Structures are given as C-alpha cells and as structure tokens.
Structure 1
Amino acid sequence: MVDNIKLQEICKELHIPVTGATSWPLPDEAQHILFDSEPCPFTAANVKERIQGPSDFTPKSAIVCLFPYYVPFHGESNLSRYTWSTDYHIVVNTYLQRVVDKLTSLVPSAQHSIHCDTSPLADRYMAYLAGLGFYGKNKCFINPTWGSYVVIGTILTTIPFEPNQPNTETCLGCNQCIHTCLGNCLSTNRFQFETCKSYLTQKKGDLTDDERIIIGKSPLLFGCDQCQEVCPHNHNIPITPIVEFQHIEPLLDASELETMTNREFKAKYGKRAFAWRGKSILLRNHDYINNL
C-alpha cells in the first residue's frame, strides 16, 4: 500500500508542488453541486459525465495535483498568461505519467488513468475536495500559496488513498473581479460565460457587435486575465517552480500570422495552448481589437 505521506514525497521528488487526494466515487451531492442548466460549451453538459470514471476499471481514489504557471512580467502582452509557455496539457500529462510510473513500480497491480482538462471530469471540484484550495468570486480555483494561476491534473487510481479534507479558507470577497470584468459576466450567481472575453476569444465564427466590443476592451488576442490580475489572492505569489512554464513568450506577432499557412502555424505554435483554435480566430480577434 502507498500511504498519503509517500504520495506527497513522490510528487515533491517529481517537482509537483501541490498534491492531495479525495475518495472515489465523488460524494452524492456532487451531481447537485455541479449541475448547470446552461453550461459553457467547453464543459460537458451532462453532469454524470463529469463524475464518471474510466469504463475499464473502478477507481478508489483521485490524486489531484496543481501546476502553478505564474511568472512576473510587466511588459507588453497580447496573450493570456496560461498560454505564455509550452501547452499545459503536454506538460501536466508528462508530469502525471511520471507519478503513474512511480506508483506502478510500488503497486504493480494498480490501475490508473490521467486527466488534464481534456476529459469532462470536474477538476476544480476534485481539487477542492482534495484540500488544495477554494473557489473565488471570479469562479477560478484559488490555492493559498499559488493563487489562481494554476492548472489542475488528476490521476484516477485503484489505490485507496486516505482522502484529504477540504480547505476551510474562503475568497476575501473584495468584489474587484466583479467590478473589473470586461463582459460583466460575474454580476449574478450564475457565471454568464456568454459575455466572458476568454470564452469569446475562443468562440468560432463572426461575433455580434456587443461581443466584438468586449473583445476590444483589452489587447489580449486569446483568453482574458482581467479578473485574475486584480485578485488580492494573486498578489506577491511566487514564481512557478515548473521549469517548462518559466520560459515565456507573452507577445504574439499578429502580422506574422497573416502570411503563415496553417501548416506553418501548426509547426511553430502547435505546442502552445492558444493554437488549438487555429490562426484564423486569432486574426479575427486582432481585427476586432484594432478596428474598434
């Protein structure tokens, strides 16, 4: 058996700074807590999908890891911070595979599955249950040390780790995120994703005049960090210890994209988190920002 102390040691040795565990399956109240009558299109609409594990084995625990990505920078940028370095999907999956390899060497009969944002699992809720932080009014997951500039990776496993207890800290409730939101999408209890700039910069097709105006309110071609930049929980946080996130490229030359073929774009930027929507969406957003 691998105990929680050993799990923490394994993750520290692999340079993963924050790790917790929660039991599986998730508690009965999860279905009610996660229900959203109008979910964002980037989230699974079926709540049951968000609380189901793999079909080929029955997990007993979820290992949840946080990967901070904050790097201090005050120069010009037109990309959201989480896209400044290598695509976090690639980085997180690499780290989690190392954890799985280590666990397999200790418990050869155990089964595992890795998840990082590409599956419908409720990653923020699992991180909360694993004691890694709390929800902010901006709907971001906040860790007391690393703030909200974190991405979440999860391993479902047949190893029955003792679950951590949820963190008792809460958002300071200063409402700065609400007041500064470019699309006023945090003003009600329901997160109004339809007017979130981050969502709109990834939405396909031509946008309405109101949607274009929201995109034009800041220079970011992809994503939006507005509510995170003003959050007190993100003040004076340390630089990421994840070496893959320490080299940053905050500025994308939109004029270069105009002459690139799709193949050239994929070859140069395919390992960046903004690349999945393709160059046409980035150029569209650039036009909206510069022609308002």
Structure 2
Amino acid sequence: MTIIVKKSLKLNIISYSQKLGFDKIGFASVEPFVEEKEVFRKWVDEGRHGSMKYLERNLEERFDPSKILEGCKTAIVLAVNYFNPDKNHIAKINSGKIARYAWGKDYHKIIKLKLISLAEKISEIFPDSKNMTFVDSGTLPEKLLAVRAGVGWQGKNSLILTKEFGSYVFLGIILTTNEFEPDEPHKDFCGDCTKCLDDCPTSAIIKPGLVDATRCISYWTIETKSYIEIPLDIVNNSRSRVFGCDICQEVCPWNRFAKPTEETEFQVKDNRTELSKEFIQNLTNEEFKIMFKDRSLKRIKLKGMKRNVCMIKE
C-alpha cells in the first residue's frame, strides 16, 4: 500500500530547503516521459547533439527516473538564483565574455552540498528512505522534472524560466523513495514571444524548445574538445563569447525580473566577467589552474580557453 507523506512533513522539508539557501522547491511524480523521449531520440538521430556521444546512451533511464533509484516515488526539484547584475557587461575591444553562470564559484559543488544536507534531513525524518542527489549529472531529465514539479516552465530557448528569477537558476534534484503529494506542473508563460529564436546569432534554436547544439556558441566553447576547430560561421557570429553564451537569456523579457543572488558563493568576487585576448594568450597552465580552480571555467582547461580566443572580435 502506498503511503503519502503528511503535508506537515512536506512543509518541514520545504522550510529546511529555504534555510539551506534554495530559492524554489517543487515535488514531482516519477512517471516516464514517453513523448519527450521520442523527441529526444529524433534529435539525437539527426545528429543535433554533435560530439556529445554520452547523450546516445541510457535512453530508457534518461526519461524514467524510477529506473535510476529502485523504489523511487518522488523527485524533489530545487532551484537557486545565480543572477549577478552587471549593466556594463559588454565586452571591451579585444576581450571575450564569460557566461554569467560561471562568474561565481562552480555551482556543482555548492548545490551538491546543499542537496546532501537536505537529503540527510529527509533521512532523519524517514530513516528507511533511500535518496539520491543530482546536479547537472547522470541521466536525469532535470528540466522536464522542474516543469512537472511546478518550479518553472521550459522556455523556447529550452531553459527553465521562473516568474521570480527569470532563467538565471541552477537546478538540483533529490530522488527519494518517499511519496510526497506532487505539486501542479507549471504553466507556460512564453506566449507568442520569439525573442530568443530571433536574436540567437547562430540560429541554434531551430524551433521552440529545441536547440541544435552544433549551432550553439555554448556547445563550441565548452562542450567540444580543445583540439576541435570552431567553424568559421560560428566564429563570425560569436559576439566575442569565449565561454558559454547568454544571448538567448539576455533578450528574454522574463529576465527583466531577475534579482541579485543572495548566495555569496555565486556572487562575483574578482570582476573577471570577461578576459582579454592578450591575457588569455599569455596565461600559463599553472596560473590558469590557480585562478579558476573554484570556477566552472576550469572544465575546458587552458588549452580550450586558448582555442576559444578565435571568438574574440578586434
């Protein structure tokens, strides 16, 4: 017999998540995403995922959370606002822009610690429960679960949008064997707006909600191996983005409501929101490791950053 967790205990979890610094929380059931799986399969079959071969694996698991944790009943979806305001975020001559998500410390570690603390709280309340935590890792359909949990809706740029913070949020998920009353899925509030599609300089958003990674600046500057040359048409339309790209977010009307993050770890500390071509070219491997050891930029290593210099417009 299925026993649904009492509402008072659910409220207890919500309250504790807020103390940990999460800005939003929602609870979703874990039924398979059948239609979405077929859309994804077609996307992969068309080669839209580029060189990200890992996306070809574990298709059933990727769209069925219950296959990841035995006995899983609920996905708890959490979001943290990471927005840092910068009215002057326009790259100087011979400088390249860094995506806003990478201005602060690496979100994987920060969110993971918060999730572990919340999972421990759940285990404290429910000693027999099993819980697993995820931050942009594994095969979990994070954005689909975020919509189902009522945390936000999936915009036409494929990112999760929230009324409170726009799209500048990091997601984290806890799968649990406890069955919580699910929240209502979030309604779509994009309406007829097509700003993100119209303003993408490389036409990467091929239709609402579907991005061709092989046309995306973020894909070329972050996901591809450093020895792979960036296509000339991407370079010519890069708008000096050397690590990631925020254009589809910057033009989104909902991001007018973005608020400065209260999470100190995501706040800008060194003002390195852009890097000059000369700075990157003269940077040594040791300097790079020290300078970016706590930031997401370390992922592409110095070799990748030097490759991305070609994106900087003079």
On whether the aligned pair clears a TM of 0.5, the verdict is yes
CA distance in 1, matches of 2:177, 2:150: 20
Equivalents in 2 of 1:5, 1:185: separation in Å? 41
The whole-number CA distance in structure 1 between the counterparts of 2:102 and 2:42 is: 27
More helix by share: 2
Q: Alpha-carbon deviations, 1:192-231, whole Å to 9, x = none?
A: 221111111122211222232233xx12210010110010
> By how many angstroms is 1:261 displaced?
4.0
- Deviation of 1:242 (Å): 1.9
Give unpaired runs (5+ residues) of structure 2: 92-96
Residue matched to 1:64? 77
Is the counterpart of residue 266 in structure 1 residue 289 in structure 2?
Answer: yes
Q: What's the TM-score, normalizing by structure 2?
A: 0.84
Displacement, 1:172?
3.3
Give the structure 2 partner of residue 75 of structure 1.
88
1:247 and 1:176, CA in 2 relative to 1: closer, same or farther beyond 3 A?
same
> C-alpha separation between the residues in 1 aligned to 2:124 and 2:163?
32
Deviation, structure 1 residue 239: 1.4
What amino acid is aligned across from residue 184 of structure 2 in structure 1? Q
56 and 173 in structure 1: CA distance in 2 versus 1, 3 angstrom threshold: closer
Q: 2:177 corresponds to which residue?
A: 158
TM-score by length of 1: 0.90
Mean Cα displacement is larger for which, 166-175 or 123-132? 166-175
| Residue 201 (structure 1) aligned with residue 221 (structure 2) | yes
Answering whether residue 243 of structure 2 is matched by residue 232 of structure 1, we say no
| Equivalent in the alignment of 1:223 | 244
Match of 1:107, as an amino acid? F
Q: CA deviation at 1:35?
A: 3.6
How far apart are residue 153 of structure 1 and its match? 0.5
Moved more, 256-265 or 62-71: 256-265
**Cα distance, 1:55 vs structure 2:** 5.4
Of 96, 100, 111 in structure 2, the residue corresponding to residue 92 of structure 1 is 111
Counting matched residue pairs gives: 289
Structure 1 window deviating more from structure 2 (186-195 vs 16-25): it is: 186-195
**What secondary structure, in the 3-state scheme, does the structure 2 residue paired with 1:138 have?**
coil
Task: State the match for 1:140 in structure 2.
Answer: 159
Q: Aligned partners of 2:104, 2:199: CA distance in 1, in Å?
A: 26
Match of residue 284 from structure 1? 307
Distance in 1 of aligned mates of 2:299 and 2:131: 27
Q: 1:271 to 1:264 in 2, by over 3 A?
A: same
Once superposed, what is the RMSD of the aligned Cα atoms?
Answer: 2.3
Shift of 1:259: 4.2
CA spacing shift, 1:161–1:35, aligned 2, 3 Å: farther
- Deviates most, 167-176 or 224-233: 167-176
Give the distance between the partners of 2:284 and 2:174, measured in 1 at CA. Answer: 37
Identity of aligned residues (%): 27
Distance 1:15 1:290 in 2: 39
What are the superposed Cα offsets for residues 146-192 of structure 1, whole Å, 9 maximum, x if unpaired?
11111110011111111111012421332111121010122435422
The residue type paired with residue 281 of structure 1 is G
